[in-house]
């Protein structure tokens, strides 16, 4: 949360992902469940040495944060949204149908835009025939290559 009440969503995590690598005793971020969730905690060694596996996860998380910067730093809302959708699709295994468990507000706070902009640009993708909204929380990708292109992945 920011001092003025605004919120920056740093990441969406799906099953099997690890988060919470904050070093010190002071925590700057918090996590929220948006679907029913099970958690496992990972303890570090008493002497503070991380295992290579855990270290790798922490570094992966850092790279992800830095790559998220690339997205949020983009100027065009449509592009940001495309990257978000492609990322989500890949992590859900394939570009057929994307499940959006989060609200438009969550997406907006993740991408640094208002919910109206999220909605408008989803509509823009819809009317361009790139995707179809089965419901507001379920998206069917009709033209994956167009989406990839917008996301600068092609």
Partner DNA sequence: CGAGGTCTTGAATTCTTTCAACAATAGTGG
Partner DNA sequence: CCACTATTGTTGAAAGAATTCAAGACCTCG
**Cα–Cα distance for residue pair 121/117, rounded to 1 Å:** 6
Output 34 or 65, the one with its CB closest to its own copies: 65
Per-residue DSSP letter, 95: S
150 binds, among its own copies, DNA, none (CB under 5 to 8 A by kind): none
- Contacts made by residues 86-91, CB under 8 angstroms, sequence distance 24+: 86/147, 86/148, 86/151, 86/153, 88/12, 89/141, 91/14
Stretch that binds its own copies, among 48-56, 84-92, 94-102, 135-143 (CB under 8 A): 48-56
115, 142, 143, 146: which one contacts DNA (CB under 7 A)?
115
Which two structure tokens, joined as six digits, stand for 84? Answer: 């978000």
Which two structure tokens, joined as six digits, stand for 55? Answer: 């270290």
Contact letters for its own copies, residues 98-127 (x by CB under 8 A): -----------x--x---------------
12, 50, 104, 142: which one contacts its own copies (CB under 8 A)?
50
123, 132, 140, 145: which one contacts DNA (CB under 7 A)?
123
Tell me how crowded residue 79 is: count the other CB atoms within 10 A of its CB: 16
Under the binding rule (CB under 7 A), the answer on residue 112 touching DNA is yes
5 binds, among its own copies, DNA, none (CB under 5 to 8 A by kind): none
Size of the site for DNA (CB under 7 A): 23
Q: Which of 100, 101, 106, 87 is nearest to 140 (CA)?
A: 100
**Triad 95, 98, 103: Cα angle to 5°:** 150
61, 68, 71, 77: which one contacts DNA (CB under 7 A)?
77
* Contact residues: DNA, CB under 7 A: 75-78, 103-105, 112-123, 133, 135-137
């Amino acid at each position: 949360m920011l001092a003025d009440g605004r919120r920056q969503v740093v990441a969406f995590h799906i099953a099997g992902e690890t988060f919470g690598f904050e070093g010190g005793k002071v925590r700057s971020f918090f996590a929220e469940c948006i679907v029913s969730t099970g958690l496992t905690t990972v303890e570090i060694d008493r002497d503070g040495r991380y295992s290579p596996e855990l270290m790798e996860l922490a570094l992966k998380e850092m790279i992800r944060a830095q790559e998220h910067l690339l997205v949020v730093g983009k100027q065009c809302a449509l592009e940001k949204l495309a990257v978000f959708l492609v990322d989500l699709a890949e992590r859900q295994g394939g570009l057929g149908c994307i499940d959006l468990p989060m609200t438009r507000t969550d997406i907006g706070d993740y991408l640094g835009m208002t919910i109206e902009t999220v909605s408008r640009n989803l509509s823009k993708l819809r009317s361009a025939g790139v995707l179809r909204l089965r419901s507001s929380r379920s998206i069917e990708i009709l033209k994956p290559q167009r989406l990839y292109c917008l996301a600068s992945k092609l």
